Amino acid sequence: MTTPVKQKVISRKTTDLDTDYKWGFVTDIKSDLAPKGLNEDIIRLIVDKKNEPEWMLEWRLRAYRHWMKLNYEEPKWAKIHHPPIDFQDIYYYASPVKEKRPGSLDEVDPELVEAFNKLGIPIEEQKKLSGVAVDAIFDSVSIATTYKKTLEELGIIFCSVSEAVQKHPELIKKYLGSVVPYTDNFYASLNAAVFSDGTFAYIPPGVRCPLELMTYFRMNTEGTGQFERTLIIADEGSYVSYLEGCTAPMRKSNQLHAAVVELIALDNAEIKYSTLQNWYPGDKEGKGGVFNFVTKRGKAAGVNSKISWTQVETGSAITWKYPSVILQGDNSVGEFYSVALVNNYQQADTGTKMIHIGKNTKSTIVAKGISAGHGQNTYRGLVKIMPSATNARNFTRCDSLLIGDKCGAHTVPYIEVRNPTAQMEHEATTSKVSDDQLFYCMQRGISEEDAQHMIINGFCRGIFKELPFEFAMEASQLLKVSLEGAVG
Amino acid sequence: MPHALATPDSYLTDFRTFETSLPDEGPDWIREVRQQALARFRELGFPTARRGNEKWKYTNVRPIADATFSYPFDAGAEVNLADIRSVAPWDDGWATVVFVNGRYSPALSTVVALDGVRVTNLEEAVRADGDVIERHLARHATFEDDGFTALNTAFLRDGAFVHVSEGESLQSPLHLIFVTAEGAEPGVSYPRTLIVAGARSELTVIESYVSLSSSRYLTDAVTEIVIGDGAQVDHYKLLLESEGAFHVATSRVYQSEDSVFTSTSYARGAAIARNDIRVLLDAPGSSCTLNGLYLTSGSQHIDNYINIEHAKPHGTSRLFYKGILDGESKAVFGGTVLVQPGADKTDAYQEDKNLLLSEKAEVASKPSLEIYADDVKCGHGATAGTIAEDAIFYMRSRGLDVETATAFLIEGFASGILDKVRVQPLRAFLEKLTAKALRGSRFGQAS
């Protein structure tokens, strides 16, 4: 079990009525920027800066050459629109200036510590969050990791990917790219070529990770692309719960975020992955904001393994993301719980893929979409039952809520069944907040706005209850803030 | 679309011969439409490349593109009514119009002489009913983005034209039979149907595609249905092509205020079949119900691609499709409900249920919702699975043997759609056909 947490973890001032994006401040810190643009030299530079071994360089170059073959043609099938991205006008490497990674927190630039304090993620030892080990990532570079000692005693490795490449090359060699190969898709190729850092976690056999592991991503420098890579391996019989949070400053221009997350669960292991995605969504006219093009995939490789994705997506100008599970081991379980909210001119095309390969595999998909303003929200999901997946079971439920007459809600499920013993059901609904429900609340003396919030919260309740407690509180607040002005 | 392949020359040579074979009279606009359609077909080709092509994601038409089919210039195939009655539903009370290999057969057709109802061959209608034809023909089934529709339009000549005037109604069903006769070489036919239902009129039409041939051929059909204010059209489509046939059909339905459209699709035959239906509810208060049953076996492939577009408020749409899949067959269902901005109070529901009877059968179902208005109630559901063991067990515990219990359950599943057929002799015909199809399936003689 995770240790009980007494304090409220993330104490942002969400109660005051200032509706603007509160995480939009810019930290004035010098960063070490590689020249704009992408070519083999930049990749060599990244490898050099990070002092990576030869095999990493080769892997990155292979990815880069594959990406170049794609001829800058991004995938077009999603229901999103954006001006073409000039991939040569992006900084592919930005890091807070520091000669070497700080050995202890005392050496971390106080500006950075302050930046994370402002975000409600204290990384100093004496203030660190109880029950949560945090890896703080600032502009793609890992700044600090808390609770390292406690974890080390259990044999858990929780560090930045850069560190893992140096210290645990055998694990990286074995698993990096094993779930999302560099040929997987446009953004995954790009990420493999240029990723600068990310989080690595390894849970040894039979260990239940006593802490929630958390990575907090912060984009700061203007014009940078953020490309991190997360790799989590749960060895036989282990358990880990992992949290991911993210914010970025307000910028007029768009920032590109193309991350890759790979999860591997071996026999009887379980990974629970929760995301609170709150990248800067752009202003009310739809200017600026983060383009969030992320590939997330887990492989439930072992028997009885389980991978569960929970995501609350309130940020980003555009979200393009499909956390998936490959159910390879017999009796493995995949879950996807999602709340995606779009307001103003935000666009989201998100969902999941459940690929059933093993026998008696089970997957559950519950997706809730909320559209307001001029937002366009699409659920896109695939459930694929392979011939080998005898007695596979899937349940899918997608609900969309529309607030206002300028927004859109779309549901595009793909269902492919190739085994007759499979049982799969898909259900979806789209509607607005019911007038009857509103009327009922209002005649009990609840204001229209509060009633709307209550109903929307109820709509998302099933997802929020999958989140760790503090995250659920935070998610509910975030939803309220994001919808400010859209309802009532 | 970039994913086209070079047009097979045979279609072009056939088109040139076809054009010269046409009578000289006839309006210029139709000649232009044909030429534009051919030009478009040459650009589009057949949709063989499927990468990034959502419309054809699960259906491979390469076997159609690779084969050569010739246009039947001699319409002299020997077919008699007894042959047709052996493969198509029949009732003496129905008016019947027969097309053999896509060509109108006056000898086999009944003459409909009713006030306010006009049923004739399109070739004749183009000459005589200029106004209505020009307003509707090839206006609803546009060929800009679809190679098959373009090809059909290029060879537009014969076809069924049905026009019911305002306030009139056709008491008994009208049966349009498109029959493919045995031929020496693989042929292609381009059946075309235009149905115009005037305001407050009522009409029941059965479109049957049947075959007397066991060889390979292509049917490339296009149907346009225009429904006036407050009119009601009950439409049935029977797909009973031969085992080696390719069938690609495009139906476009246009609905005016308070009109009601009911469609029932029964699909049994053809090696590769595609039913592309699009219903546009273009005025307030219109409603449509689309029912479908598909039974596949062997290595058949059936693709139902259905778009319902709600353009105006207070529209209602319902879609219920069911599939029973056996052998190594594959069924594809792609249903979309599109609600345009401002189409408030739309109430739409779609459902696709699949019963898999064999280990090799496959289904790909993609029901989708695209909603741009907020005051709506929309939903969809899809299921796939096999016969529930509990249900079999329950029936066996009451003394039924496995075979009977299984047959009951499958029939029960199919009856969900067949019970909605309102034309009694047709329902009886389909029930018999379904029972026969299922007797041949693995579960008909289950272990």
**pLDDT tens-digit readout, A216-237:** 877 766 667 788 899 999 999 9
pLDDT confidence band for A18 (50 / 70 / 90) = very low
Name the phi and psi angles at A49, rounded to 5: -55, -40
Which pLDDT score is estimated for B163?
95
Which pLDDT score is estimated for A82?
86
Report the residue from B357, B371, B385 with minimal CB separation from A423. Answer: B385
Q: Is A409 on the interface with B (CB under 8 A)?
A: yes
- The closest alpha carbon to A187, from A226, A156, A224, belongs to A226
Domain presence at residue A209? yes
For the ranges A55-64, A476-485, B112-121, B268-277, which has the lowest average pLDDT?
A476-485
- The closest alpha carbon to A43, from A68, A75, A71, belongs to A68
Please give the tally of structural domains in chain A: 1
Question: For residue A488, is pLDDT > 70?
Answer: no
For the ranges A328-332, B9-13, B82-86, B274-278, which has the lowest average pLDDT?
B9-13
Closest chain A residue to the Cα of B53, Cα to Cα: A77
Q: What is the mean pLDDT of residues B92-98?
A: 93
Q: What is the mean pLDDT of residues A74-91?
A: 85
Does the distance separating the beta carbons of A403 and B370 come in below 8 Å? no
Q: Is B270 on the interface with A (CB under 8 A)?
A: no
pLDDT confidence band for A7 (50 / 70 / 90) = very low
pLDDT confidence band for B61 (50 / 70 / 90) = very high
Report whether B232 contacts B264 (CB < 8 A).
Answer: no
- The closest alpha carbon to A270, from A295, A296, A303, A244, belongs to A303
Which pLDDT score is estimated for B397?
95
How many interface pairs between A and B have CB atoms less than 8 angstroms apart?
A: 113
pLDDT confidence band for B8 (50 / 70 / 90) = low
Instruction: Print burial letters for A392-411: b (CB count within 10 Å at least 16), e (below 16).
Output: bbbebbbbbbbbeebbbbbb
Closest chain A residue to the Cα of B364, Cα to Cα: A416
Run of H or E including A439: helix A435-443
Q: Is A425 on the interface with B (CB under 8 A)?
A: yes
pLDDT confidence band for A214 (50 / 70 / 90) = confident
Q: Quick one: CA dihedral A27, A31, A36, A41, positive or negative?
A: negative
Question: For residue A1, is pLDDT > 50?
Answer: no
Which pLDDT score is estimated for A130?
58
Domain presence at residue A141? yes
Rounded Cα distance, A305 and A303, in Å: 5
Which pLDDT score is estimated for A123?
64
Beta strands A141-145; A132-138: pairing state? antiparallel
Does the distance separating the beta carbons of A416 and B385 come in below 8 Å? no
Read off the pLDDT of residues A172-184 as tens digits, 9 standing for 90 and up: 999 999 999 999 9
Does the distance separating the beta carbons of B366 and A400 come in below 8 Å? no
Q: Is B359 on the interface with A (CB under 8 A)?
A: yes
Which chain B residues are Cβ-neighbours of A436 within 8 angstroms? none
pLDDT confidence band for A465 (50 / 70 / 90) = confident
- In terms of DSSP H, where are the helices of A309-375? none
Run of H or E including A397: strand A393-403
Which pLDDT score is estimated for B220?
96
Which pLDDT score is estimated for A287?
83
Which pLDDT score is estimated for A103?
52
Does the distance separating the beta carbons of B367 and A413 come in below 8 Å? yes
Detail the DSSP E strand segments found in A278-391: 289-300, 306-313, 318-321, 324-327, 333-342, 347-350, 353-356, 362-372, 376-385
Rounded Cα distance, B388 and A421, in Å: 9
Does the distance separating the beta carbons of A417 and B371 come in below 8 Å? no
Q: What is the mean pLDDT of chain B?
A: 91
Closest chain A residue to the Cα of B328, Cα to Cα: A418
CA angle A211, A217, A220 (to 5 degrees): 150
Q: Chain B 46-75, CB below 8 Å of chain A: which residues?
A: 52, 54
CA distances from B97 to A298, B106, B237 (A): 59, 8, 14
Report the residue from A407, A423, A426 with minimal CB separation from B381. Answer: A426
Report the residue from B344, B362, B378 with minimal CB separation from A417. Answer: B362
pLDDT confidence band for A196 (50 / 70 / 90) = confident
Which pLDDT score is estimated for A325?
96
Question: For residue A9, is pLDDT > 50?
Answer: no
Q: What is the mean pLDDT of chain A?
A: 83
Report whether A252 contacts A288 (CB < 8 A).
Answer: yes
Run of H or E including A475: helix A469-483
Question: For residue A5, is pLDDT > 90?
Answer: no
Which pLDDT score is estimated for A105?
57
Report the residue from A76, A411, A431 with minimal CB separation from B376. Answer: A431
Report the residue from B367, B368, B384 with minimal CB separation from A422. Answer: B384
- When scoring B325, B368, B386, B442 by the number of chain A Cβ atoms within 10 A, the one with the most, hence best to mutate, is B368
Detail the DSSP E strand segments found in B128-240: 160-164, 174-180, 188-189, 192-197, 202-211, 218-227, 232-240
Question: For residue A126, is pLDDT > 70?
Answer: no
Which pLDDT score is estimated for A94?
73
Q: What is the mean pLDDT of residues B373-385?
A: 91
Most confidently predicted of A72-76, A150-154, B109-113, B370-374:
B370-374
Report the residue from A412, A414, A430 with minimal CB separation from B378. Answer: A430
Report the residue from A385, A387, A430 with minimal CB separation from B379. Answer: A430
For the ranges A157-171, A239-253, B347-361, which has the lowest average pLDDT?
A239-253
Does the distance separating the beta carbons of B366 and A417 come in below 8 Å? no
Which pLDDT score is estimated for A4?
36
- In terms of DSSP H, where are the helices of A6-98? 40-49, 54-69
Read off the pLDDT of residues A440-460 as tens digits, 9 standing for 90 and up: 999 999 998 888 888 888 898
Which chain A residues are Cβ-neighbours of B367 within 8 angstroms? 413, 426, 428
Instruction: Tell me which of B224 and B74 has the higher pLDDT.
Output: B224
Tell me the residue range of the domain where A435 lies.
31-483
Which pLDDT score is estimated for A119?
65
Read off the pLDDT of residues A34-58 as tens digits, 9 standing for 90 and up: 778 888 888 998 888 888 999 999 9
Name the phi and psi angles at B226, rounded to 5: -115, 120
Report whether B315 contacts B286 (CB < 8 A).
Answer: yes
Question: For residue A122, is pLDDT > 70?
Answer: no
Which pLDDT score is estimated for B369?
93
Which chain A residues are Cβ-neighbours of B385 within 8 angstroms? 420, 422-424
Does the distance separating the beta carbons of A429 and B378 come in below 8 Å? yes
| Residue A144, CB-side half-sphere exposure with 13 Å CA sphere | 23
Domain presence at residue A23? no
Work out the minimum CA distance from B243 to partner chain A, whole angstroms. Answer: 23
Q: For chain A, how are helix, strand and coil distributed in percent, rounded to 5?
A: 25, 35, 40
Which chain A residues are Cβ-neighbours of B372 within 8 angstroms? 407-408
Which pLDDT score is estimated for A31?
67
The total number of residues shown for chain A amounts to: 488
Report the residue from B52, B369, B385 with minimal CB separation from A422. Answer: B385
Q: Is B391 on the interface with A (CB under 8 A)?
A: no
Does the distance separating the beta carbons of B384 and A415 come in below 8 Å? yes
Read off the pLDDT of residues B225-273 as tens digits, 9 standing for 90 and up: 999 999 999 999 999 999 999 999 999 999 999 999 999 999 998 999 9
Report the residue from B52, B363, B364 with minimal CB separation from A77. Answer: B52
- The closest alpha carbon to B319, from B379, B396, B269, belongs to B379
Query: How many helices and strands (H and E) does chain A possess?
Result: 10, 25
Work out the minimum CA distance from A421 to partner chain B, whole angstroms. Answer: 6
- % of chain A at pLDDT higher than 70: 82
Work out the minimum CA distance from B246 to partner chain A, whole angstroms. Answer: 23
Q: What is the amino acid identity at position B226?
A: V
Question: For residue A416, is pLDDT > 90?
Answer: yes
Report whether A335 contacts A309 (CB < 8 A).
Answer: yes
Question: For residue B79, is pLDDT > 90?
Answer: no
Q: What is the amino acid identity at position B320?
A: F
Extract the tokens encoding A167: 């210290």
- When scoring A70, A73, A356, A417 by the number of chain B Cβ atoms within 10 A, the one with the most, hence best to mutate, is A417
Question: For residue B38, is pLDDT > 80?
Answer: yes
Work out the minimum CA distance from B265 to partner chain A, whole angstroms. Answer: 22
CA angle B83, B87, B89 (to 5 degrees): 110
- When scoring B54, B374, B443 by the number of chain A Cβ atoms within 10 A, the one with the most, hence best to mutate, is B374
Run of H or E including A448: helix A448-464
Which pLDDT score is estimated for A487?
58
**Neighbouring residues of B358: CB distance < 8 A, sequence distance ≥ 6:** A420, B325, B326, B327, B328, B442
Which pLDDT score is estimated for B76?
60
Read off the pLDDT of residues B381-414 as tens digits, 9 standing for 90 and up: 999 999 888 999 999 999 999 988 998 899 999 9
CA distances from A318 to A36, A140, A220, A346, A372 (A): 23, 19, 18, 6, 14
- In terms of DSSP H, where are the helices of A119-245? 148-153, 161-167, 169-175, 186-194
Which pLDDT score is estimated for B75?
61
Extract the tokens encoding A377: 């929200």
Does the distance separating the beta carbons of B341 and A411 come in below 8 Å? no
Q: Is A438 on the interface with B (CB under 8 A)?
A: no
Q: Is B366 on the interface with A (CB under 8 A)?
A: yes
Which residue is it, tokens 């490898």?
A47
- In terms of DSSP H, where are the helices of B45-187? 62-66, 81-87, 122-128, 130-136, 147-154
Question: For residue B199, is pLDDT > 50?
Answer: yes
Instruction: Tell me which of A119 and A234 has the higher pLDDT.
Output: A234
Which pLDDT score is estimated for A16?
33
Q: How far apart are the first and last CA of chain A?
A: 41
Instruction: Tell me which of B171 and B77 has the higher pLDDT.
Output: B171
Which pLDDT score is estimated for A48?
87
Determine how many CB atoms are found less than 10 A away from the CB of residue A234: 33
